């Protein structure tokens, strides 16, 4: 890897990695598990997931918008977790649940240390989410609860506005030419707006920890990244419900048309690998999954000799969902990070030199 290419790699990841592993506001319609809700938000970790960063402070702003719809299993799960159903249910459910972020905002301050740790580069970030989320359920239940048969229908719309759970991440990165490696530990702190009686929440109501690693291949013209992680969820004290262990793979591939302009694809696969448990679980195993794929574009712009900016836009269309809502989501990231020492920011008129 040339000095010029290494500088570009360090800058681009110093922006994109700010979002790696964080869970954007932990929205009630973002992932799987309890009532269709999980800790890891699919789509954050994509391109340049393991490349080095420039030491110093950085700051990213992320706007997230989504439109998701779930079937009867997810709608029923939300009623169980709200305490409306407290016994095992046998019957039929014709229902749909819809949710959207309108949008959600995530502030991500971070710091990369200059002193090596275990031969790698150490970084810490803090995710501070704020925004508004809306949930809507239409449902008709027919069946039996014990010896009693019933039929019930209705609709419910709720919104929540406020702060989500705080997120912290510690990571280490190593570089060997075009090969880059990263490991991370991610934690969720349950300080966000959460009410077990609502169908729309900005927090998830329980502590969780996510561990994983990433690999990035990066040369002068293209890159490919993959991030694999596992989430362990502690029991929700409000509902006595404990999500199973979740596995997630996020990936990204992009082409650098110039030193500043990047285009490509990104995607993810999310799979719950163990059953939900706990005294409050009326749903059985309820393992969830979903996939997603979509385009991405990025642009680097100079701010000063010491600082650079980055804008990234990406979106995902979901498929193969089971026991969770699916739909589409979009991300807009605007970030500021240190420029590589001794190098001016990339010129808008200078194209990347290739052989």
Q: What is the DSSP string of 178-229?
A: TEEEEEEEEEEE--S---TT-S--SS-SS-EEEEEEEEEEE-SSEEEEEEEE
Domains in the chain: ranges and CATH: 3-338 (2.40.128)
Task: Give the residue from 232, 221, 329, 235 showing the smallest Cα distance to 272.
Answer: 232
Write out the chain's pLDDT in tens, 355 residues.
444 444 444 434 333 333 333 333 344 433 334 444 567 888 888 888 998 899 999 999 999 888 876 555 555 555 444 444 444 544 445 555 555 666 788 999 999 999 999 999 999 999 999 988 777 666 555 555 555 554 455 666 778 888 989 999 999 999 999 999 999 999 999 988 888 777 778 888 889 999 999 999 998 789 999 999 999 999 888 888 888 899 999 999 999 998 889 999 999 999 999 888 888 766 667 778 899 999 999 998 999 888 999 999 999 999 998 877 788 899 999 999 998 776 555 554 444 433 3
In 10 A of CB 112, how many CB atoms? 23
Check if the beta carbon of residue 223 is closer than 8 Å to that of residue 230: no
Helix, coil or strand: residue 240: coil
- Print the SS3 string covering 108-147: EEEEECCCCECCEEEEEEEEEEEEEEEEEEEEEEEEEECC
User: Which of 352, 325, 334, 269 is CA-nearest to residue 99?
Assistant: 325
What whole-number distance in Å separates Cα of residue 248 and Cα of residue 242? 18
């Amino acid at each position: 890897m040339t000095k010029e290419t290494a500088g570009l790699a360090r800058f681009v990841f110093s922006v994109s990695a700010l979002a790696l592993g964080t869970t954007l506001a932990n929205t009630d319609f973002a992932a799987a598990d309890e009532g269709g809700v999980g800790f890891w938000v699919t789509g954050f970790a994509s391109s340049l997931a393991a490349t080095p960063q420039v030491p110093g402070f950085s700051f990213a702003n992320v706007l997230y918008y989504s439109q998701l719809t779930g079937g009867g299993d997810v709608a029923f799960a939300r009623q169980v977790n709200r305490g409306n159903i407290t016994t095992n249910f046998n019957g039929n459910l014709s229902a749909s649940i819809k949710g959207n972020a309108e949008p959600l905002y995530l502030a991500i301050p971070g710091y990369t240390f200059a002193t090596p740790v275990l031969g790698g580069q150490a970084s810490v970030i803090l995710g501070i989410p704020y925004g508004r989320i809306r949930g809507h359920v239409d449902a008709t239940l027919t069946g039996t609860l014990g010896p009693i048969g019933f039929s019930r229908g209705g609709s419910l719309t709720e919104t929540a506005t406020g702060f989500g759970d705080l997120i912290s991440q510690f990571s280490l990165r190593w570089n060997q030419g075009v090969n880059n490696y990263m490991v991370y530990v991610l934690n969720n702190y349950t300080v966000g707006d959460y009410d077990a009686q609502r169908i729309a929440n900005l927090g998830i109501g329980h502590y969780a920890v996510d561990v994983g690693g990433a690999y990035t291949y990066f040369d002068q013209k293209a890159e490919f990244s993959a991030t694999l992680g596992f989430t362990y969820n502690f029991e929700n004290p409000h509902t006595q419900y404990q999500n199973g262990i979740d596995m997630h793979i996020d990936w990204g591939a992009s082409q650098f048309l110039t030193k500043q302009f990047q285009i490509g694809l990104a995607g993810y696969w999310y799979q719950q690998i163990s059953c939900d448990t706990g005294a409050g679980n009326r749903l059985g195993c309820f393992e969830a999954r979903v996939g997603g794929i979509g385009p991405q574009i990025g642009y680097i712009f100079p701010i000063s000799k010491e600082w650079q900016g980055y804008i990234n836009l990406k979106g995902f269309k979901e498929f193969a969902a089971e026991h969770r809502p699916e739909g589409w989501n979009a991300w807009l990231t605007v970030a500021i990070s240190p420029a590589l020492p001794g190098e001016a920011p990339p010129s808008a008129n200078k194209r990347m030199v290739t052989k």
